[in-house]
Amino acid sequence: MPEQILSEFAGAESTLTYKIDGNDFLFYGVYVSASGGMQDAPSLKEPQTVNWPGSHGTVVDLAAPRYNNREIELDCFIKAAGKLDFFNKVRAFLQAFQKPGLRRLELWIATKPLVYLVYLSEGVNIEKQWHEDEMFGTFTLKLIDPHPVKRLLKVVGSAVSIQFTSANPISIFWGDGSVKHDLLDDATATYNYASAGTYYPVVCGVIEEVEDFVHNAEVLWSKY
């Protein structure tokens, strides 16, 4: 999957768009100068090991690797027309993250998104440059995605149906703010949207062990 993401990024630097809950960062006057953790592999959880006294090294069980939370950092700057406009834009942008539940962070590569389900893990310190006519500020967003492995679908219409088999609990974020948790075994999940449109459901969990995955949607990313 990293190779698929890298191929999508090739030549796309000028067409990257960041969104929070469907709103473009530029709506708040915020630009992203650098990012980390969005395309990187999350760190591996400590595997089970056995240290036999009569053997060299250790025996490490990597038959079913599991991963830690994804940590994302976005280096941002904000531009505003004066002090009051700067204050309002900063407040509105930070309030977009300071809401109950996980927020939906999207990175669009041309017409194709990567979706992350995040919360703001630390405070935000804005380095300000005061001017009479224009205001500038730089800051870093430190975000946590507690679902480091996921599959992204695309639904065009008003309903979606997903069937699969999984020995581990699966969560489905339907793309409109609703979520279904703890789907297990031979699961069938259907969802009706309030209106027809284009939605991007995210399937989270031990994706690599999901079997018999049947759906009426398009798979944009099978695993990332």
| pLDDT digits (tens), the chain, 224 positions | 444 444 444 444 457 899 999 999 999 999 999 999 998 889 999 999 999 999 999 999 999 999 999 999 999 999 888 888 999 999 999 999 999 999 999 999 888 999 999 999 999 999 988 777 788 999 999 999 999 999 999 999 999 999 999 999 999 999 999 999 999 999 999 999 999 999 999 999 999 999 999 999 999 999 99
What are the beta bridge partners of residue 31?
77
Per-residue pLDDT at 117: 98
User: Domain segments of the chain: what residues?
Assistant: 2-6+14-42+67-145, 150-221
Amino acid identity of residue 152, one-letter, is L
Per-residue pLDDT at 104: 98
Structure tokens at 86: 């700067």
Per-residue pLDDT at 41: 87
Q: Is 149 helix (H, G, I), strand (E, B) or coil?
A: coil
CATH of 2-6+14-42+67-145, picked from 3.30.720.110, 2.40.30.200, 3.30.70.590, 1.20.120.1200, is 2.40.30.200
Secondary-structure percent of the chain, ordered helix, strand, coil, rounded to 5? 15, 55, 35
What's the chain look like in SS3?
CHHHHHHHHCCCHHHEEEEECCEEHHHHCEEEEEEECCCCCCCECCCCEECCCCCCCCEECCCCCCECCEEEEEEEEEEECCHHHHHHHHHHHHHCCCCCCCEEEEEEECCEEEEEEEEECCCCCCEEECCCCCEEEEEEEEEEECCCCEEEEEEEEEEEEEEEEEEEEEEEECCCCCEEEEEEEEEEEEEEEEEEEEECCEEECCHHHCEEEEECCEEEECCC
Per-residue pLDDT at 2: 45
Per-residue pLDDT at 8: 46
Amino acid identity of residue 102, one-letter, is L
Per-residue pLDDT at 150: 97
Structure confidence by residue, pLDDT tens digits, 191-203: 999 999 999 999 9
First to last CA, the chain: 6
pTM over 0.95: no
Alpha-carbon gap, residue 71 to 145, rounded angstroms: 6
Q: Is 9 within 8 Å of 15 (Cβ atoms)?
A: no
Place of tokens 């473009």: 24
Per-residue pLDDT at 3: 46
Structure tokens at 201: 């459901």
Pairing of strands 23-24, 112-120: unpaired
Alpha-carbon gap, residue 117 to 76, rounded angstroms: 19
